[in-house]
Amino acid sequence: MSKFWSPLTASLVPYVPGEQPKDKAYIKLNTNENPYPPSPRVIEAITAAANADLRLYPDPTCEGLVQAAAKYYGLSARQVFVGNGSDEILAFAFAAFFDPAKKILFPDITYSFYKVYAKLYGLQTELIPLDEQFNVQVDQFHSDNGGIIIPNPNAPTAQLISLEQIKMLLDNNPNQAVIIDEAYIDFGGQSAVQLIQQYPNLLVVQTLSKSRSLAGLRVGFAFGSEELIEGLNRIKNSFNSYTLDRLALAGAIASFEDEAYFKETTAKVIHTRERVADQLLALGFKVTESKANFVFISHPSIAAEGIFKQLREKGVLVRYFAQARIDEYLRVSIGTDDEMDAFVRAVQEIVGL
């Protein structure tokens, strides 16, 4: 505590990102990064943009990138917003759309940044429980709320809800913003972007961090009606006019120009995920049905925290959440086949098979 802090600063409970230990080289399966490098075209575009023009401000409207993303999804530029990672966009969206006079709704087990944003903006929250199988119970999101946010697939549970369920949610909640956070959608899900023409209150948030192997570049997107996108721009332009640097803009544009590479690498991650899930089932683990680039697993007789610690000693980092309902689970990012073979071998030793 400092006497120079505002009351807000003193009240916050900041987010804690996954650990990035520097003590030794780990097989890093703890922050849902893509094991494959970004497309060579991205590297070329960034290298070309590393020039004297860095002395100039970037385009504050990010027009080139907005148009590339709009074209990719068949939208107009006025239905697209870009930001410094999808976390920044989520922060803007909580401020832009959620009503402080009512409770905002999200699943009880979900991305842990949501409750941090709520605290930042003084928003009341109501957690809607997942069912026993960790499915999002769409019908439990009652309409007396100040806004809704759901990740699809959900994190860390990895499970998907269908577009039919999202439509039901939107039909039941026509008077407030509904945000679908699609950080992991490209690993087997169907994007709700196709619903935005029909639902002016739907905001779909995506990122280049996962499926396009660009966590290090910090680029995210929001897709929605013109009025929602204008709302995001009002917040952004009251906060920072130039949120994306020239290199991120160049690399992000190029990432949409290599569809073959994108399809190939996401297919590889999906293929590895399915193989590893089968191996874990054979080792006695419970494995939720994942449509993400990670699996969410639990062993019936060995404590998750113990497995987490033993894996760490063996040089494999996964994510453990000391949190009610999921403290017997581990979240394991999908690495390369070699990395996952090493992970499965380590797990075999731990479970004694």
Q: Which of 23, 24, 25, 51 binds a copy of itself (CB under 8 A)?
A: 51
SS3 annotation, 14-78: CCCCCCCCCCCCCEECCCCCCCCCCCHHHHHHHHHHCCHHHHCCCCCCCHHHHHHHHHHHCCCHH
Contact (CB, 8 A) for 294 and 32: yes
Which range, of 245-253, 302-310, 313-321, 333-341, touches a copy of itself by CB under 8 A? 245-253
Q: Which of 73, 99, 124, 328 binds a copy of itself (CB under 8 A)?
A: 99
Q: Cβ closer to a copy of itself: 97 or 329?
A: 97
In angstroms, rounded to a whole number, what is the distance separating the alpha carbons of residues 155 and 296?
9
The yes or no reply on residue 321 touching a copy of itself (CB under 8 A) is no
Amino acid identity at 350: I
Q: Which of 70, 163, 168, 215 binds a copy of itself (CB under 8 A)?
A: 215
Q: Which of 26, 75, 88, 304 binds a copy of itself (CB under 8 A)?
A: 88
Q: Cβ closer to a copy of itself: 79 or 176?
A: 176
The yes or no reply on residue 301 touching a copy of itself (CB under 8 A) is no
Q: Cβ closer to a copy of itself: 227 or 259?
A: 227
In angstroms, rounded to a whole number, what is the distance separating the alpha carbons of residues 268 and 285?
23
3-state secondary structure of 159: coil
Which range, of 15-23, 164-172, 309-317, 341-349, touches a copy of itself by CB under 8 A? 15-23
Between the two ends of the chain, the Cα-to-Cα distance in Å is 51
Read off the DSSP letter of residue 280.
H
The yes or no reply on residue 200 touching a copy of itself (CB under 8 A) is yes
3-state secondary structure of 300: coil
Q: Cβ closer to a copy of itself: 89 or 276?
A: 89
3-state secondary structure of 205: strand
In angstroms, rounded to a whole number, what is the distance separating the alpha carbons of residues 166 and 185?
14
The yes or no reply on residue 182 touching a copy of itself (CB under 8 A) is no
The yes or no reply on residue 35 touching a copy of itself (CB under 8 A) is yes
User: What tokens appear for 331 in the block?
Assistant: 């979240």
Q: Cβ closer to a copy of itself: 91 or 287?
A: 91
268: Cβ contacts below 8 Å, ≥ 6 apart: 36
The yes or no reply on residue 267 touching a copy of itself (CB under 8 A) is no
Q: Which of 81, 117, 187, 343 binds a copy of itself (CB under 8 A)?
A: 117
Which range, of 45-53, 156-164, 283-291, 313-321, touches a copy of itself by CB under 8 A? 45-53
Amino acid identity at 293: N
3-state secondary structure of 248: helix
Q: Which of 231, 291, 308, 333 binds a copy of itself (CB under 8 A)?
A: 231
Q: Which of 36, 72, 73, 321 binds a copy of itself (CB under 8 A)?
A: 36
Q: How far is the CB of 81 from a copy of itself (least distance, A)?
A: 13
Q: How far is the CB of 246 from a copy of itself (least distance, A)?
A: 4
Which range, of 43-51, 128-136, 159-167, 321-329, touches a copy of itself by CB under 8 A? 43-51
Q: How far is the CB of 117 from a copy of itself (least distance, A)?
A: 7
Contact (CB, 8 A) for 246 and 314: no
Angle at the Cα of 156 from the Cα atoms of 152 and 159, rounded to 5 degrees:
45
> Among candidates 174, 182, 181, 168, which has minimal Cα distance to 200?
174
